[in-house]
Structure 1
Amino acid sequence: MLFTRQGPRSIDCAGRGLDNLPVGLTLPGGFSAVTFGENKLTEVKRGQFRWNTAATMLNLSHNLVATVESRALAGLPVLQTLLLDHNQLTGLNPEALQGVYELALLDLSFNRLRVLDPSLFVNTDIRVLLLSHNPLVKLDPMLFMFVPRLRRLDLSSMRSLRRLEAHAFSGLDQLEELRCGSGGALAEVHPAAFRDAISGEHLARLVSVDLAGNNLTGVSRDMLPWGRMEFVGVEQNPWTCDCDMAWAAGGALPHEDAPSFVCEKPRAAVGRPVSNLTAAEFGCQDGFVASTGFVAGIVVSTVAVAVVVAVVTK
C-alpha cells in the first residue's frame, strides 16, 4: 500500500525509496498536506495527480527531479505550497505550473536552474519565491512581471549572479523582503535596481534587503530609501572606502542599526567602519561633490586657508 503514514490531515510518503509515481495518481480525500520528499523521483509527469480539491501542500523536495512536465499539477487546483527544493532541475517547462491558480509559496532552492521563463508564473498567486543556491547567471528584465503580489524573494547564495541590473524588480510593489546574501557573487548593484521602471520610484513596500557576503566594493546612496529601511545586510563585503562611499559617513544613515560598511581598502582604513572615517581619510579627488557634508567641509576649510594666506601675503 502506497499511503502508509497519515497524520490528522496529512499523507507522509517520505523516505520510502520511490522512484516513480503513476500518472493519474488518486490521493485519498480530505488530506491537505502530501509529502513525497526524500525519495528517488526523477520527474513529475503531465496529469500526475487525479483531480483533488483538498491538497494545499505538496512536498517533492530532496528527490532527483529533473523534469516537471506541462500541467503536471493541474489536478491539484487549490495547491498553495509547492516544495521542489533540493532536486536536479536545470530548467522548468513554462507551463509546468498551469492549473495551480492559488499557488502562493514556491520553493525551487538548491537546484541547477540557470534560467527561468517569466511565463512559468502566469496564473499563479505567488507571494513567496525561494530561488537560493541556483546558478542563475542573470535575472530576465521581465522575470517577475507575472508575480505582482510577491512579498518575499530569496536569491541567496547565487554564485553565478554577478550584477543586479536597473529595474531588476520592477513591478513588485508588494515586495517587502529581498535576500541576495549568504555567499553570493554580486559585484555590482545598479543604483536603480530597486526602482520601478515606469514610476522611477523605489519599490513601495521594500523594507528589508540582505546583500551580505558578496563581492560588493561600493553602492550608491540612491540605491535604497535608507530612511525607511528596517534592515540592510552589508557585512562581509570587500568595501572600498573611497569618495564614492563618503555618503555613508557622518550620520547619513538615520537609524541606530545602520548598515555596517567595514572597509577592506584602502590599507589605512582596513577593518574600520566607514562611519568612523574622517573627511581627509576618504581621499576625494578635485571636483568630487558629495552630499554628506564631509567633502563640503573640506572645500570650505580649503577656501578659508587660501583667504588667510592671501591676506598674510599682502
Structure 2
Amino acid sequence: MLLLPDYVRSKLDREAFRGLGNLTQLDLSYNRLHQLPDALFADLVNLEKLSLAFNALVTLPAPLLTPLSELQHLDLSGLGLTSLYPDSFPSNLTKVQWLSLSHNHLDIVPTASLTHFAHSLQHLDLTGNPFTSLGSFSFMGLVNLKSLVLEQLLWLKTIDKYAFGDLIHLDNIRLRYMPRILRVDPKAFYGLGDNNTEVPLILEDFTFSFSTLATLPSTLLPWDRLKYVSLEYNHWNCDCNMRWVKNSSLIDMAGNRMVCSHPLRLRGHKLKVVPEKELTCQEPDTFTTGETVGLLWVLIIIGLSASLATVSMLVYYKQGWVCRRPQGAYTSIERGSSTITIREDFDTSTA
C-alpha cells in the first residue's frame, strides 16, 4: 500500500507511479488534487484497491481508470461530482465489487454509468447525495448487488414503485437520516418476474430509521424473512394502518424502538405496548398546531371586538348620545317597596 508524502498532495506528475506494476493498493484520499493526468495509472496493472476520496476532482476522465482492469475496490467519495455519464467508467472495469460515490452532488442515481459493474458489483454506497426521488428501476442491471447504503439523503422525498426492482440478490439495505421523506411506495421493493408478475425482494437486514416516515406498508417486504430490522426514530402515526405490525413478528424484532409521534394522545408511547384497540383511524387529534393558532386568533379578535364595543357604549352614554334624557321630561324618580313614582314638574311660567 502506498501513501503520499506532503509535498505531492496538491499535484501529481504523470510519471509518479512509473514502475510500480506490483502495487495492489493506492490511497490518494484527503488531498488537494484537482486534476490528474490521464496516464497517471498506466503502470498499475495489478492495482486492486484505489481511493481518490475527498479530493476536488469534479470530473472523472475515463482514460484515467482504463489501465486498472484488476480493480475491485473503488472509492470516489466527496469528489464534488455533479454527474456521471455512460462512458465515465471504462468497459474493462469488470471486477469492481465495492464502489462508493457518497457525498457527491449527484441529483439522480447514475443508472447508466453503474451498468458497467452489472455482474461484479456487490456493495454500493450513495450516501449524502441530493437525490429528491428514487425512480423505478434506479439500480437497473445490478443483479449481484448484496449491500446498498443510502444514508443522509437530506432532500429525498419519494421512493417509487420498483425502485429497487432489479436487486434480486440484495441482502441488506440501510436507509437512514432522511428528514424530508414523504412516501415509500408499497411496491418499492418489488421486481418483475416472468410474464411481468410482481416478485418481492427477500432481504435479511433492513434499516429504515431517523426519518419522517409515518407509516409502514404491510406489503413492502416479506417481513417474516428478515433476520434483523431497525425502525427507530421515525415519525410513526399509530393508527389503524399500523395494526398489522402489532400482529406480526416485526413488532418483536423492532422491540421498543418504534415510538408513536401521532396521534397526540399516544405521542411518546412505544408501539409494542399500545393496546390494539387504541390504534384507530376514527379519532383525529383535537387540533393540529395550525388549527390551534387559528382558533387563538379568532378568540383574540372576538375579545378585542367586545372590549371596543363596551368602551364605545360607555363613551356614548357619558356624552349623552345613548338614552339621552329629554330636557324637562321629569325631575325625580322615587322607588317604593312595590312602586316607582316619577315626578314631572313642568315650568308653567311661560304658559
TM-score class normalised by the smaller sequence: 0.7 to 0.9
Note closer, same or farther for the CA distance 1:104–1:194 as it changes in structure 2 (3 Å cut): same
Q: Is the CA contact 1:122–1:146 (under 8 Å) kept in the aligned structure 2? A: yes
Partner SS state of residue 244, structure 1: helix
Structure-1 separation of matches of 2:19 and 2:35: 18
Match of 1:272 in 2: 269
Q: Which residue of 2 aligns with 1:244?
A: 241
Q: d(CA) in 2 for partners of 1:47 and 1:143?
A: 33
CA distance in 2, matches of 1:113, 1:120: 12
Q: Counterpart in 1 of 2:208?
A: 211
**Which residue of structure 1 lines up, in the alignment, with residue 158 of structure 2?**
163
Matched position secondary structure for 2:165: coil
Instruction: Name the amino acid aligned to 1:12.
Output: L
Measure the CA separation in 1 of the matches of 2:32 and 2:261.
Answer: 46
Q: Which has a greater percent of helix?
A: 2
Once superposed, what is the RMSD of the aligned Cα atoms? 2.2
Contact 1:212 1:236 in 2 (8 A): yes
1:150-299 equivalent positions in 2, closer than 5 A:
150-198=145-193, 199-204=197-202, 206-249=203-246, 251-253=247-249, 256-258=252-254, 260-285=257-282
Please report the TM-score for the alignment, with normalisation by the length of structure 2. 0.72
Post-superposition CA distance 1:25-69 (Å, at most 9, x none): 636121100111121112455454215321000111121121102
Residues 218 and 140 of structure 1: CA distance in aligned 2, closer, same or farther (over 3 Å): closer
d(CA) in 2 for partners of 1:14 and 1:190?
A: 50
Give the 3 Å change call, closer, same or farther, for CA 140–281 of structure 1 in structure 2: closer
Q: Indicate the structure whose relative CO is greater, using CA pairs within 8 Å and at least 6 residues apart.
A: 1
For 1:302, the equivalent position in structure 2 comes to none
Q: Residues 233 and 14 (structure 1 numbering): CA distance in 2 closer, same or farther, change over 3 Å?
A: farther
Equivalent-residue separation in structure 2 for 1:74 and 1:43 (angstroms): 16
Tell me the matched-pair count: 275
CA–CA distance in 2 between the matches of 1:44 and 1:153? 29
Whole-Å separation in 1 of the counterparts to 2:258 and 2:251: 14
Taking the TM superposition and a 5 Å limit, the aligned residue runs for 1:1-314 are 10-13=1-4, 16=7, 18-23=9-14, 26=18, 28-44=20-36, 46-98=38-90, 99-124=92-117, 125-198=120-193, 199-204=197-202, 206-249=203-246, 251-253=247-249, 256-258=252-254, 260-285=257-282
Question: Sequence identity of aligned pairs in percent?
Answer: 25
Question: 1:79, 1:102 within 8 Å by CA — same for their partners in 2?
Answer: yes
SS of the residue aligned with 1:116? coil
TM norm structure 1: 0.80
Q: List structure 1 runs of 4+ shifted beyond 6 angstroms.
A: none
> Structure 1: where are the runs of 5+ without partners?
1-9, 287-314
Q: Distance in 1 between matches of 2:5 and 2:114?
A: 27
> Cα gap change, 1:210/1:282 in structure 2, threshold over 3 Å: closer, same or farther?
same
Query: Which one has the largest radius of gyration?
Result: 2
